[in-house]
Structure 1
Amino acid sequence: MVFTAINLYLFFAWQDSFLGLITSLSGMLCVVLVAKGKLGNYYPGILNVVLYAYLSYQQGFYGEVALNLLYFLPMQIIGLLLWKKHQAKNQDISDVAVSMLDKKKKIIWGIIIVAATILLGNVLQKMGGAQPYVDATTTILQIAAQLFLIKRLVEQWITWIIVDMVSIWMWLTAFLTSGNDVTVLIMWVAYLFNAIYGYYNWKKIYIRQGGHAA
């Protein structure tokens, strides 16, 4: 509610784009529902993915465009189906059963993420994209985080926290350059606060459900 109020104020005060406002509000609603383990997160999530891809294209963040249209959009549908398949017995705690990675899988995922980020950064640099390695970092981490999300892993929140911090820097730079999309910047700040809460809440859910490593 606080970030919604801030977004509405900035929308009128800065005369920001209406699409930026809707993108921000739908995204914040989506991540709040994810943090609470609610199946309904996927509906505002689909709207957010489409609008965010369009805004990213306007800023020259081509990695973000490809990520959202070619990956996040179909993954929203897949995630909705998988969450319905793995619903929790006690839905007063969470709509779905949550899990965690074991130590070996955490190391493997870490190596894959670093290697993929370096490779994509080189590609985006050759394409002439804005902030290619920052863009690559957020792109690869979001791919991993979304996979962790549909697999209902607590580790998604650690990944999202890193994504949010890098994205705040990326959109802050864009805002200082163009003066546009301040509501999208605020969206990422809200995402960061929500990811911290989501990590705390999912750890609590994991423990209350009995907890097991994936």
Structure 2
Amino acid sequence: MKNEEKFNKLFSAFVLIGMTVALVLTTALKLGDSTGGKILLLVSAFGSLMGVTSTVFSAKGNILTFLFGFLDVSIYGVICFINWRNGGTGLGNALLHLVYFVPMQFIGLAQWRKRGASSTDKPAAKRLDARGWLITSLLLLLGSVTLYFILAHFDKSAAGTFLKWSVILDVITLACNILGQLFMSNAYMEQWFFWIGVNIFSILMWSWTLSQTGGSYALIYIIKYSFYLINSIYGLRIWLALSRKEA
């Protein structure tokens, strides 16, 4: 048990320190060669740091995740909207974060408190049954198709093409985000499968943005979601153990 606690503390420190160092170096370099958007760059860096802090607390089952999460999703939603207005991707993620994620932080806070969570105690974790997985799979499929046609209508890139890859990345990220947050707010272990998907496709989405528009803040989000991916694998490990205790 002591070795487990020591590993958890060291891993959390690695993610937080690593992300902070990477953000400071990246931001300093980008500030030096950026001709504009320096305020967005700094705000993006701060929001990313809040986001990584939130995911570390989430992986550990600490209710403070929702405090840092509120700052993260608010900033990220605005940045995605600005990126879309400038001709890049991100409309779906902007709407997702501002309309869905922001209120879900308060819902999650209330639900975790009902399940015994505090700044020192973890929530009682749950798992999906076979019926729950079937419903989730159907929602993911139908929701993704519907979202694609809605977002493709508003997308400014690759106009006139039937399949818009930037929109596909946006839709997959959007769908996984919705389900991940829903399961997180209700303390389901399965949230981490969707967070892993979110992180992989977010890295791809921002890599595409970096290659197409060269946005100074895109590299920050690539770094952010790379650390998120590492932490989400760690979170899956922790929550598998938590859900076994409740089974």
TM-score (norm 1): 0.92
1:127 and 2:154 matched: yes
1:106-155 superposed Cα distances (whole Å, 9 cap, x missing partner) = 12201110111011011111112552121111111111111100110110
1:142-153 equivalent positions in 2, closer than 5 A: 142-153=177-188
Q: Distance in 1 between matches of 2:136 and 2:208?
A: 29
Alignment partner for residue 103 of structure 2, among 46, 52, 74? Answer: 74
Task: After the TM superposition, list the runs of 4 or more consecutive aligned residues in structure 1 that deviate by more than 4 angstroms.
Answer: none
Q: Where does 1:3-18 land on structure 2 (aligned, <5 Å)?
A: 3-15=19-31, 17-18=41-42
Equivalent residue letter for 1:38: N
| Higher normalized contact order (CA 8 Å, seq sep 6+, divided by chain length) | 1
Identical-pair percentage: 27
Distance (Å, rounded) in 1 between the aligned partners of 2:71 and 2:211? 26
Superposed displacement of residue 176, structure 1: 2.1
Query: Which runs of structure 2 are paired with 1:190-209 in the superposition (5 Å)?
Result: 190-207=227-244, 209=245
Please say if 1:174 is aligned against 2:198: no
User: One-letter code of the match for 2:107?
Assistant: I
Distance 1:129 1:190 in 2: 30
What letter corresponds to residue 128 of structure 1 in structure 2? D
Q: Deviations over 1:20-59 (max 9, x none)?
A: 1011100000000000000001111111111101110122
- Aligned-pair Cα RMSD in Å: 1.6
The aligned length equals 208
Quick one: distance in 2 between partners of 1:88 and 1:190? Answer: 25
Does the CA-based 8 Å contact 2:52-2:224 persist in structure 1? yes
Aligned match of 1:36 = 60
Q: Distance in 1 between matches of 2:71 and 2:117?
A: 26
Looking at structure 2, the residues matched to 22 and 184 of structure 1 have their Cα atoms a distance apart, in angstroms, of 11
Task: Please give the secondary structure, in 2, of the residue aligned with 1:39.
Answer: coil
| Corresponding residue for residue 92 of structure 2 | 63
How is 1:110-125 mapped onto 2 (pairs within 5 angstroms)? Answer: 110-125=137-152
Task: State the TM-score, normalizing by the size of structure 2.
Answer: 0.80
Counterpart contact for 2:63–2:117, Cα < 8 Å: no
d(CA) in 2 for partners of 1:200, 1:129: 40
Deviations 1:3-25 (A, max 9, x none): 22111111101226101101110
Query: Cα 1:183–1:77, aligned 2, differ >3 Å: closer, same or farther?
Result: same
Contact preservation (8 Å) 1:118, 1:133? no
- Tell me the amino acid that sits aligned with residue 109 of structure 1: T
Higher radius of gyration, 1 or 2: 2
Which deviations, in whole Å up to 9, do the C-alpha atoms of 1:70-100 show, x marking residues without a partner?
A: 10000001111111111159x86x5211011
CA distance in 1, matches of 2:238, 2:124: 13
Unaligned runs of 5+ in 1: none
Which residue matches 2:162? Answer: none
